[in-house]
Amino acid sequence: MTKFEALGLQESLLNAVSDMGFETPSEVQEKAIPILLEGETDLVALAQTGTGKTAAFGFPLIQKIHKESRTTQGLILSPTRELCLQITNEMQLYSKYEKSIHTVAIYGGASITDQARQIKRGAQIIVATPGRMKDMIGRGLVDISKIDYCVLDEADEMLNMGFYEDIKDILSNTPKEKSTWLFSATMPKEVAQIAKKFMHYPQEITVGTKNSGVDTVQHEYYVVGGRDRYPALKRLADANPDIFSVVFCRTKRDTQKVAEKLIEDGYNAGALHGDLSQNQRDLVMNAFRKKQIQMLVATDVAARGIDVDDVTHVINYQLPDEIETYTHRSGRTGRAGKSGVSMVIITRSEMRKINAIEKKIKQQFISKKIPTGMEICEIQLYHLASKIKNTEINKDVENYLPAIYDVLQGIDREELIKKMVSVEFTRFSNYYNKAKDLNSSEFGEKRKKGKDQNGAFSTNGSIRYFINIGERDGYDWMSLKDFLRGTVGLDKEDVYKVDVKESFSFFNTDSDVSEKVLSTFTDLKVDGRFVNVEVSNNPGGGRGNRGSKDKGRRKDRGRGKKRDRAQGQATYSGKRRSKKRKSDFF
Ligand code: ADP
Ligand code: MG
């Protein structure tokens, strides 16, 4: 018996589960599904974003629907059009083997008559945004007077967005004796009130700690001068060549401005805010989903409901006014079991906000420094080297080879490599040559007490290393830390400042264990491949001027499509480069 079977799911759902490749139920699914299947009850379920809440209510709902009847029996309310479509899509996947169950989506910005027509054909389940739902009820286009189940999904976000009155209105059109299932990432007062007012003795389940951020997210802050926010943002992007991020600004104007500047500077960026038409927003979101956009600059309202699973970084260009909003922001990364980083760019005067957020999320921030120009050059070089190594050879270059050999005649391998790498390096070092230190001076130090274990600022006696394994070998910052502790035999606090890139990583240790680290990796093979560790040029460490000696075969565990951090990163001429993929080497 599989774990899903043990929850009491019927065969058609189990088949759909296996088609989707779900192997084990998530915690919220494990807790909610048996309760919801067993009897009629109200339920409040608190679980972070990305924990699989849709299936937690979706599976039981589908199983409980009387499929022989065409009456609308289930209503799912969700805050945004994107979520609404996503839930509908998931529900259709779940009910793949229940052909007579129909789920219809109702949301603003699309034809109301089309939606009404679909409802008329018979929709046992309706997924709706509150605004459009209320509208359709008002026009008599939908009948929810006989529903048995009402799901309030992302209840906290719906209330954040000011849907309280709409929800109240909608619920007044539903029968008293129905079950209400409320799902939410957090439990602010307003949600508790809804539960109290509209639900009867709800059972409660909580996954993780209430109100806390997901612990797959590492929180970092960078203290800069007020005018250095934008250059700091650029450096953070440059230091993470494979970044796939949401950048949050406070106002629509800033959002637009930052996005425009990034695009001008050659990054793959896009803006998402309320002044754009629905059509423009769709275009941006589609490009983001396809990873054509690596930096999505967004307002909080517009970013609600962004449900993209592999966002690597959330960047708080400015902190939000409400602490609660920070949890929504950082919840956009570290989803679906992956790890993520939430970065905050702040000025000194905002430091107390960090303390307040730490209390709220019950997690500590790591104080980090904006990388220097040289660090970025180093990262970009290693990135380039591994990119060259992993580039698939384009057959069409064959034709040009004789001429190219001719041009490059007499240059030996070593020199060629040096020259090739210099092309990129010179571009970066020209740009960053005179770049100043953006870190607001001596600052983090003040806060340092007790935070040393994070490696925050322990510059003296700390060594930074380069290691030739990264994301494509299946590591993230958590598992790499574990790997290093285990392999070298270090304590929990000994490894810090772990930065995992696509095919290589950096980390720090105190200098007293460095011998142990380096000697462990003199001849260490993992999965038949040499794992190589070298002291990096980055601060905190001594000097080591050799590049990556990647001796072994790189075992590609295929973390999916490689993101081409486009052209963007290296174009500092102020000119805009084409967004098309193109090899940097030919
Ligand atoms: P939430 O609503 O809690 O934010 P979702 O329901 O959107 O989370 O699920 C997040 C992602 O995890 C989705 O891509 C979903 O398909 C996937 N997922 C859900 N349950 C499982 C599971 N049991 N095993 C693997 N993946 C799952
Ligand atoms: Mg959800």
Give nearest CA residue, ligand 1 atom 19: 52
Within a domain: residue 389? yes
Distance separating alpha carbons of residues 81 and 83, to the nearest angstrom = 5
Burial (CB count within 10 angstroms: exposed 0-12, middle 13-18, buried 19+), residue 364: middle
Question: What tokens does 267 get?
Answer: 């990054």
CATH code, 463: 3.30.70.330
In a domain, 233, yes or no: yes
Distance between CA atoms of residues 43 and 246, nearest Å: 32
Is 331 a pocket residue for ligand 1 (Cβ < 6 Å)?
Answer: no
Same domain flag for 193 and 251: no
Residue nearest to atom 1 of ligand 1 (CA): 50
In ligand 1, the atom with minimum distance to the C-alpha of 20 is: 16
For the Cβ of 512 lying below 6 angstroms from any atom of ligand 1, the answer is no
Strands 245-248, 295-298: pairing is parallel
Residues 84 and 40 in one domain: yes
For residue 13, CA distances in Å to 23, 97, 179, 321, 472 come to: 13, 7, 21, 43, 33
Together in a domain, 114 and 173: yes
State whether 33 and 156 are in the same domain: yes
Distance 259 CA to ligand 1 centre (A): 30
Cα-to-centroid distance, 408 and ligand 2 (Å)? 56
The parent domain of residue 519 ranges over 454-535
Which amino acid appears at position 350 of this protein? E
Q: Is residue 357 part of a domain?
A: yes
Question: Residue 580 domain-assigned?
Answer: no
| Count of domains for the chain | 4
Residue 584: its pLDDT value, please? 25
Point out the ligand nearest to the CA of residue 26: 1
Residue from 9, 26, 86 whose mutation best tests the ligand 1 pocket (most atoms within 8 A of CB): 26
Give the residue whose CA is nearest to atom 22 of ligand 1: 22
4, 14, 19, 22: residue to mutate for ligand 1 pocket, most atoms within 8 A of CB:
22
Cα 314 to ligand 2 centroid, rounded to whole Å? 18
For residue 24, the CA-to-ligand 1 centroid distance in Å is 11
Same domain assignment for residues 330 and 388:
no
Q: From the CA of 50, how far away is ligand 1's center (Å)?
A: 6
Residue 444 is assigned to a structural domain of this protein? no
Q: What is the residue with the minimal CA distance to atom 2 of ligand 1?
A: 53
Ligand 2 center from residue 50 Cα (angstroms):
7
Report pLDDT for 113. 94
Give the count of beta carbons closer than 10 Å to the beta carbon of residue 460. 8
Residues 147, 92 contacting (CB under 8 angstroms): no
Structural contact between residues 495 and 509, judged by C-beta atoms closer than 8 angstroms: yes
Strand runs labelled E in 161-254: 179-184, 203-206, 217-223, 245-248
- d(C-alpha 95, C-alpha 89), whole Å: 10
Give the amino acid at 73. Q
DSSP H/E element including 515? helix 514-520
Same domain? For 55 and 149 the reply is yes
- Shortest-distance Cα residue to atom 18 of ligand 1: 52
Among 18, 51, 94, the mutation site with the greatest number of ligand 1 atoms within 8 A of its Cβ is: 51
Write the single-letter amino acid at 545.
N
SS3 content of the chain, % helix, strand, coil (to 5): 40, 15, 45
Same domain as 367, residue 402: no
**Would you write out the chain's pLDDT as a tens digit for each of its 586 residues?**
778 999 999 999 999 999 999 989 999 999 999 999 998 999 999 998 788 999 999 999 999 999 999 999 999 999 988 889 999 999 999 999 999 999 999 998 899 999 999 999 999 999 999 999 999 999 999 999 999 999 999 998 888 777 888 999 999 999 999 999 999 987 877 788 888 889 999 999 988 754 434 467 889 999 998 889 999 999 999 999 889 999 999 999 999 999 999 999 889 999 999 888 888 888 898 899 889 999 999 998 888 767 677 889 999 999 988 887 888 888 888 765 578 899 999 998 888 889 888 888 878 888 888 998 888 888 888 888 888 888 888 888 888 888 888 888 888 889 988 888 888 778 777 888 777 888 876 544 444 433 333 333 344 578 889 999 988 888 888 889 888 988 888 877 788 888 888 888 999 888 888 888 988 888 787 777 888 898 887 654 332 333 333 333 333 333 333 333 333 333 333 333 333 322 222 2
Neighbours of 525 (CB within 10 A): 10
Atom of ligand 1 nearest to the CA of 51: 3
Strands (E), 26-134: 43-46, 74-77, 103-106, 125-128
The predicted pLDDT at position 541 comes to 33
Contact 309 CB / ligand 1 (< 6 Å): yes
Measured in degrees and rounded to the nearest 5, phi and psi for residue 152 equal -105, 100
pLDDT in tens, 132-143: 999 999 999 999
203 phi and psi angles, rounded to 5 deg: -75, 150
- Please indicate, yes or no, if residue 299 is contained in any of the structural domains: yes
Q: How far is the CA of 46 from the centre of ligand 2 (A)?
A: 11
Task: Evaluate whether 533 touches 466 at the Cβ level (below 8 Å).
Answer: yes
Residue 483, both tokens: 């790997």
**What's the pLDDT score for residue 337?**
58
Locus of tokens 């080297």? 385
> Is 201 in the same domain as 222?
no
Calculated CA dihedral for residues 309, 314, 318, 319, nearest 10 degrees: 80
DSSP assignment of 452-500 equals: GGGTSS--TTEEEEEES--GGGT--HHHHHHHHIIIII--TTT-EEEEE
- pLDDT for res 429: 79
Angle between helices 112-120 and 130-138 (to 10 degrees): 70
Same domain membership, residue 131 and residue 8: yes
Q: Residue 51 C-alpha to ligand 1 middle, in angstroms?
A: 6
Distance 409 CA to ligand 2 centre (A): 59
Residue 425 lies in a domain: yes
CA dihedral 178, 181, 187, 188 (to 10 degrees): -40
pLDDT of residue 472: 83
| Index of the ligand 1 atom closest to the CA of residue 26 | 23
Q: Are residues 343 and 240 in the same domain?
A: yes
pLDDT of residue 8: 94
| Same domain for 379 and 366 | no
Specify if 578 maps to a domain. no
Q: Is 52 in the pocket of ligand 1 (CB under 6 A)?
A: yes
In a shared domain, residues 36 and 17? yes
- Domain containing residue 44: CATH number: 3.40.50.300
Cβ–Cβ under 8 Å, residues 174 and 142: no
Q: Is ligand 1 within 6 A of the CB of residue 54?
A: yes
Say if ligand 1 is within 6 A of residue 26 CB.
Answer: yes
Q: Burial letters for 267-293: b for 16+ Cβ neighbours within 10 Å, e otherwise?
A: bbbbbbbeebeeeebeebbebbeebbb
CB 164 near ligand 1, within 6 Å: no
Q: How far is the CA of 87 from the centre of ligand 1 (A)?
A: 11
Residue 341's H or E segment, with its range, is strand 340-346
> Of the candidates 95, 124, 101, 125, which has an alpha carbon nearest to the alpha carbon of residue 17?
95
| Atom 10 of ligand 1, nearest CA residue | 50
* Ligand 1 and 307: CB distance under 6 A: yes
